[in-house]
Chain A
């Protein structure tokens, strides 16, 4: 950098000003931060600094020689023959020169102004993705579209000037889109990818300062760890969501936090805690004012049916099959008609709860109500039905119900 005749301090100042444009608060970097990048002690700057650096340089962080953490699956690796260390040293030096020059020159063109209408346009496209998720779920297409939309929201941040309110809304939207990508990856059991989405979403949510989106991301994280069989991590992540101030302001958020805690405690075989969590979740839901203002994603999915669906999951994991069945019936009667995927999952779980109580005929009749479309196209449903078939053959051997089930599943293969 000294060969360019500029200090690390001048680059740090330029990045601090760019952070201020992004977040409304100047960044706190100094020359030692820049030296840490150059020396490779920091290989992937925090997201605000990274975005600011991209702003200042006009180049993506990867092109500057930085190496993302755990993002190998979603970001193409730089070509082998290029040495990221070399690039980072020379390019960061080059930016210092460019930044110093830009600081000296008068502004040439004024960038366009970004407004709430831009934010609303993105949110409308997001709503279409959410609707598609409720129909199909867990699919790679949904994940990729949501992640692409999050990047689009961030690009918009950098496309011109905006008020603090617009900036915060854009970060909140980008965080929401990323967390939907995370959810699709969890649903599709792609946990490494889900974790990469989670980290990005968490950083964006912090920049937005939006409590409800922070709640959503940590609540999703708890569910992800539950699916991974890591119940201690699941409870800790879910607690982050439950401890947000929002849950004291709005009992509906408190209810969702408690219901997901119940599902985790069921997986951890804590019988008494599971029961208490679901009772408290139900109380909180009854206290919630339906007229309160809430984000679209919350209104779209958390209601009495979802609470019963989580209770079904928790009691099934505990092996309390009669209570699981009770919540399955309640869920099915309250489920909104467009929740096609939820209905298929609930039907399948009900079939398991009935079979575990020894009623093979009722269980098979329930499993046969799952649509062929859901049974063949939704990976989670088809896996659970595969498990149902195995449990049926092992526990009801010799009954005619098995033949009925075999013939029924054969029709899917013809349809698929």
Chain B
């Protein structure tokens, strides 16, 4: 690839118009894992339908020539939310006293990895939010720790651990300021 890709970033706060695009790009990003129950497209679809109806739903899709190549989505979480309750140790009050953005998913198609696309999607999503902090969970073993290292390079710090569901590995909870 000799020229920078012409990426079109689009932000949505409702699911209806882009549910199909989100499923398509998710399935491509997670193709090697789709046989695992927690990663099946149906399981993602169910989560997406729930999160799409929850507070602060925001999603950014990256398009190239009209085809989705990357995505991210988030919700708003508040003090007492299951997200914070499952985080151990209990997060400092400065993080939970006001609503925060929880980045639920972010992913880019294999051909578009290492092009800065994920970072551009991430920043476009946060640009629309007024909350002071953004938090995410990462599997510390993913990509031999490269994913965790990438988020550190974006300014995230570890604040605890969480196991969001019985089928899920223990994840590292990370946080950073939005601005």
Q: Hey, which bits of chain A sit against chain B, CB under 8 A?
A: 189, 191, 227-229, 231, 268-270, 316-319, 352, 356, 383-384, 386-391, 393-395
Contacts and interface: CB of A to CB of B under 8 A. Distances in A.
Nearest to B26: A390
Interface residues of B, number: 28
Contact of B42 (A191, A227, A384): A384
Nearest to A356: B35
Given A268-B166, A317-B37, A387-B42, A394 B28 contact: yes
Interface of B: 19-20, 23-24, 26-28, 30-31, 34-38, 40-47, 49-50, 53, 165-167
A287 B27 CA distance: 44
B37 A318 contact: yes
B45 A395 contact: no
A229 B50 contact: yes
Nearest to A266: B37
Contact of A269 (B20, B35, B37): B37
30 contacts: A227-B46, A228-B50, A231-B166, A269-B38, A270-B166, A318-B37, A319-B40, A352-B40, A352-B42, A356-B34, A383-B19, A384-B42, A386-B19, A386-B20, A387-B41, A387-B45, A388-B41, A389-B24, A390-B20, A390-B23, A390-B24, A390-B41, A391-B34, A391-B41, A393-B24, A393-B28, A394-B27, A394-B30, A394-B34, A395-B34
B23 A395 contact: no
Contacts of B38: 269
Given A189-B49, A317-B37, A269 B167 contact: yes
B37 A319 contact: yes
Nearest to A380: B49
A229 B46 contact: yes
B23 A269 contact: no
A319 B35 contact: yes
A404 B163 CA distance: 41
A386 B25 CA distance: 12
Contacts of B43: 317
Contact of B31 (A189, A318, A388, A394): A394
A377 B19 CA distance: 17
Nearest to A321: B35
Nearest to B166: A269
Most A CB atoms within 10 A — which of B34, B36, B44?
Answer: B34
B23 A386 contact: yes
B72 to A, nearest CB: 17
Contacts of B42: 316, 352, 384, 387, 391
Nearest to B44: A387
Contacts of A383: 19, 45, 49
Closest 4 CB pairs of A and B: A394-B27, A319-B37, A390-B23, A390-B27
A386 B24 CA distance: 9
Given A191-B53, A352-B42, A394-B24, 6 more contacts: A227-B46, A229-B46, A319-B36, A356-B40, A386-B20, A394-B41
B111 to A, nearest CB: 12
A269 B37 CA distance: 9
A191 B26 CA distance: 25
Contacts of A268: 166
A75 B58 CA distance: 29
A271 to B, nearest CB: 10
Contacts of A388: 41
A318 B43 CA distance: 11
Contacts of B26: 390
A189 B19 CA distance: 15
A316 B37 CA distance: 8
A229 B42 CA distance: 13
Contacts of A394: 24, 27-28, 30-31, 34, 41
A47 to B, nearest CB: 28
Contacts of B28: 393-394
A348 to B, nearest CB: 10
A384 B49 CA distance: 11
A370 to B, nearest CB: 15
Contacts of A384: 42, 45
Most A CB atoms within 10 A — which of B24, B28, B42, B43?
Answer: B42
A384 B40 CA distance: 12
A397 to B, nearest CB: 8
Most A CB atoms within 10 A — which of B19, B46, B50?
Answer: B46
A218 to B, nearest CB: 22
A352 B23 CA distance: 14
A362 B162 CA distance: 40
A388 B41 CA distance: 8
